[in-house]
Amino acid sequence: MPDPVISVRNVSKAYRIWESPAARLLSPLQASLGLKERAAKSYRDFWALKDVSFEVQKGEAVGIIGRNGSGKSTLLQVIAGTLQPTAGEVKVNGRVAALLELGSGFNPDFTGRENVHLLGAIRGLTREQIDARFDAIAAYADIGDFIEQPVKTYSSGMAVRLAFAVCAHVDANVLIIDEALGVGDARFQLKCARTIDRFIEEGRTLIFVSHDMNSVNRLCSAAVLLEQGRMQILHSARVVTNIYAKLMTDDRGRAAIERDLERARLMPFERNQQPTASPVAVADAIETSEEVEISRQLLESEPALQTAATSEREFVMGDGNATIESIEMLNERQQSQQLFKSGEALTVRARIVVRHAIRAPIFALRIRDTKGLDIYGTNSYYRKFATNDLNPGQRVVVHFDLRANFLAGKYFISIGCSHFDDRKLVVHHRRYDAIEFTIVQDDHSFGIAQCAATIRVVQDS
């Protein structure tokens, strides 16, 4: 293995919390007088990170996820070099561009132009290099004459636009992003997404923190889960986001995911796999797309009906008050089927048995692709479909009727049963990626949705 781009070794970070402002002043004096025990009673240490270790190779995109207060932003600051660890060490090979909390690195009294030079210098650029790139940075940020105004007059969105514009033009081989991008408008977020896609396609390294699991699954080949400052696992983004979803829905905290962590640690995964191709890359390659060719062969062969395959990647959670016994994919004739043509009508049928009474149950459907991205999801609550209360031992069969308006590829079905208890969602059983099915198409459309476009040309009068 080549040397890692980022190496985090036994990193811990403690923040000293003082009993009072006076204790902060008196404690050093007490310690100098030999009253160390009394001085130690004036504060307590809060460990934001505890013994975190992992490596990131060149070309990897790694997500950092976890609940609020788990240490994500602290870890990013330590990797970026803006915060020193209490113990352990971090080594980064190459130039780093970091977009952390809003306004990070800015002097609020400096103009935007002056801050571009400041941030560029911090990231290792000479004045001549910054001058040569300034026009491109200003055009990317697109904040107009505000570039000559003090940053303290900027909105949060304008500050992020300028900060990301600098990050995009410093030729860094490591890009570190906290959730700051969420404040930008839709147009700028799209511009940032394209920049990040190109960054990854060029084989550079990304560290990404977000609560948006779709973004983590789309961008990242691997992810780290943090809980209470400790690293729980480094694995594929899909596996880690599934475990995180269970952690978020179970009041037992880490105890709820212990067995899942043990199983996941035994599962190998490809560290440097490429992320999902961007829409532009898909469009460029569509004429030779392997999926389209496979679709053509399958359509010509007219394969026999086959029950949708049980998925090896199934992930379950819930309190056990309900059990989803079976999930099936049915065609229009209500026959079990695994292969569907794009646009074909289909039914997802789930058989559920109830252990204890459930008031106003909610039945949910989710369809994801092989990367773990949500393609479609709904539930009886969103659809305003009133459900009857369920009694102990009762069995029900739930049908989701829909049209497979997806393009060629493999997809996974997830089914859930839950209910609201005093505005809190209680998950009884969820089966993520429980069964697999395949969509084939007979045209060269690209993307993920089948919109069945028609084309008309009329004479312009």
For residue 85, being part of any structural domain is answered with yes
Whether 348 and 365 have beta carbons less than 8 Å apart is answered as yes
237 and 289, same structural domain? no
Last residue of a domain, one of 265, 294, 325: 265
For residue 111, being part of any structural domain is answered with no
More confident residue, 310 or 373: 373
Q: What is the pLDDT of residues 138-161, one digit of tens each?
A: 999 889 999 999 999 998 888 888
**What residue numbers bound the domain in which 34 lies?**
6-94+173-265
Per-residue pLDDT, averaged over 349-354, amounts to 97
For residue 115, being part of any structural domain is answered with no
Whether 286 and 292 have beta carbons less than 8 Å apart is answered as yes
Q: What is the pLDDT of residues 245-259, one digit of tens each?
A: 999 988 888 899 999
Per-residue pLDDT, averaged over 367-373, amounts to 90
Return the DSSP state at 12.
Answer: E
Report the number of distinct structural domains present in the chain. Answer: 2
189 and 75, same structural domain? yes
In the predicted structure, residue 369 carries a pLDDT above the cut 60: yes
Per-residue pLDDT, averaged over 297-312, amounts to 60
CA end-to-end span of the chain: 66
Angle at 448 between CA 447 and CA 452, to 5 degrees: 85
CA distance 235 to 424: 30
CA distance 71 to 11: 11
Residues 6+ apart with CB under 8 A from 358: 321, 322, 389, 390, 417, 419, 428
Return the DSSP state at 393.
Answer: T
In the predicted structure, residue 279 carries a pLDDT above the cut 70: no
378 and 326, same structural domain? yes
CATH of the domain at 299: 2.70.50.60
pLDDT of residue 52: 96
For residue 165, being part of any structural domain is answered with no
For residue 459, being part of any structural domain is answered with no
295 and 238, same structural domain? no
Angle at 424 between CA 419 and CA 427, to 5 degrees: 45
333 and 261, same structural domain? no
In the predicted structure, residue 77 carries a pLDDT above the cut 60: yes
More confident residue, 164 or 395: 395
pLDDT band at 391 (very low <50, low <70, confident <90, very high): very high
304 and 385, same structural domain? yes
Last residue of a domain, one of 241, 265, 289: 265
310 and 194, same structural domain? no
pLDDT of residue 286: 38
More confident residue, 375 or 123: 375
375 and 296, same structural domain? yes
353 and 295, same structural domain? yes
Question: Which of 130-144, 239-253, 293-307 has the least mean pLDDT?
Answer: 293-307
CATH of the domain at 59: 3.40.50.300
Percentage of the chain lying above the pLDDT 70 cut: 89
Percentage of the chain lying above the pLDDT 90 cut: 53
Residue 141 φ/ψ, nearest 5 degrees: -65, -35
436 and 360, same structural domain? yes
189 and 57, same structural domain? yes
Per-residue pLDDT, averaged over 409-414, amounts to 94
Question: Which of 74-78, 274-278, 320-324, 440-444 has the least mean pLDDT?
Answer: 274-278
pLDDT of residue 1: 62
For residue 148, being part of any structural domain is answered with no
322 and 260, same structural domain? no
In the predicted structure, residue 227 carries a pLDDT above the cut 90: yes
Per-residue pLDDT, averaged over 390-415, amounts to 95
Q: What is the pLDDT of residues 191-218, one digit of tens each?
A: 888 888 888 888 899 999 988 898 899 8
Residue 131's CB is within 10 A of a number of other CB atoms, namely 13
Question: Which of 134-148, 159-173, 381-395, 426-440 has the least mean pLDDT?
Answer: 159-173
More confident residue, 284 or 428: 428
pLDDT of residue 306: 59
More confident residue, 170 or 301: 170
pLDDT of residue 304: 46
In the predicted structure, residue 82 carries a pLDDT above the cut 90: no
pLDDT of residue 318: 93
For residue 310, being part of any structural domain is answered with yes
For residue 348, being part of any structural domain is answered with yes
More confident residue, 388 or 29: 388
Per-residue pLDDT, averaged over 51-66, amounts to 94
How far CA 4 is from CA of 28, 66, 303, in Å, comes to 40, 24, 47
